[in-house]
Amino acid sequence: IRPPRLNCGTLDPRRLLQWPAFPKPLLPNPTFMSRSLLLLSKAIVMIACCSGIMRQAQAQIPLISASDGGFENATSTLAANGWTGVNATSITWFTGTAAGAATGTKAAFVGSSSTTYIGSTASVIKHFYRDIAIPAGATSVFLNYKLKMPIIDNTFDFFYVYTNTTAQTPVAGTLPAGTQRASYTTPALANFTARPQIDLTSLAGTTVRLVFTYRTDAAAPYANPAVDDITLTYIPGAAGCTNTTM
C-alpha cells in the first residue's frame, strides 16, 4: 500500500524562510536572566540551611584547645592546662607521662604523684573540671574524649562525666551536682579508647562546668582511669543563612 501523496502545489521551498510562521529568534532579556539566577541561588542557600546541609559541611570550632584537652603543657599540672583539681591529696588526679597518652606524651590520670599511675586503696571521690562558655545559637555541640582504665572493679569503681553550672563546685568525697553525662565501670580498657560522643547542644548560650570524676571503694581491685584528647566543639547557628530574602 502506497502512502498518500502530499499535494504541495507549486509552492517554492525557498519562500518558506520568508513566511511569518518563522519569526525572529526570541533573545533572552539580560535583566530578567540575572534576576532569575539570583533568586535561584538564594533559594538553594535557603534550602541548604533549612536541611542542615551547610552546617554539616562546616568545620567544628573548638572550645578546648588541643593542648589543654591533651594535657600537653610543658608544666605537668592540671592548672597549667586550664583545669582545676579538687582535693589534690592522696590518690587524686594528676597530669604527666605516667599513664601514657592517646596523642602526644601526656594525659590526666589518677595516682599518688605526677609520676605514679595507680588506683586508690581507700574509698575516694575525686574530680577535675573547667568552665566553658558555649556561644548562644551554637549547634552540634559535641564533647569527645578517650579513656584508659586497665584495672577495673566492676560496679564498685567508676569513672564519670558531669555537667553543671558555675554555681555548683565539685566537692571531694561527693558526686557532683548537675547532670551525669557518662558512666564507666567495665570492661577493662588497656589503651586509650574513644568513648561515645556526648551532645551538649542544649547548653548553648550558657557557661557549663565540665567535670570528670573518679570513684572507688576500699576493696581490690583498684580501678585506675586516665583521660586524654578531651574536645568540645560546635558549629555557629544558622551560619551562611543570613541575607537570603527572596
Q: What is the pLDDT of residue 240?
A: 47
- Residues 216-236: pLDDT tens digits? 999 999 999 999 999 999 999
Q: How many CB atoms lie within 10 A of CB 95?
A: 29
Q: What is the pLDDT of residue 242?
A: 46
- Give the span between the Cα atoms of 135 and 29, in whole angstroms: 46
Q: How many CB atoms lie within 10 A of CB 113?
A: 12
- Measure the N-to-C terminal CA separation of the chain; round to a whole number of Å: 62
Q: What is the gyration radius of the CA atoms in the chain, in angstroms?
A: 32
- Residues 132-156: pLDDT tens digits? 999 999 999 999 999 999 999 999 9
Report residue 22 as a C-alpha cell. 518563522
Give 191 or 3, the one with higher predicted confidence.
Answer: 191
Please provide the average confidence, as pLDDT, over all residues in the chain.
85
- Residues 51-102: pLDDT tens digits? 555 445 578 999 999 999 999 999 999 999 999 999 867 899 999 999 999 9
- pTM for this model (two decimals): 0.77
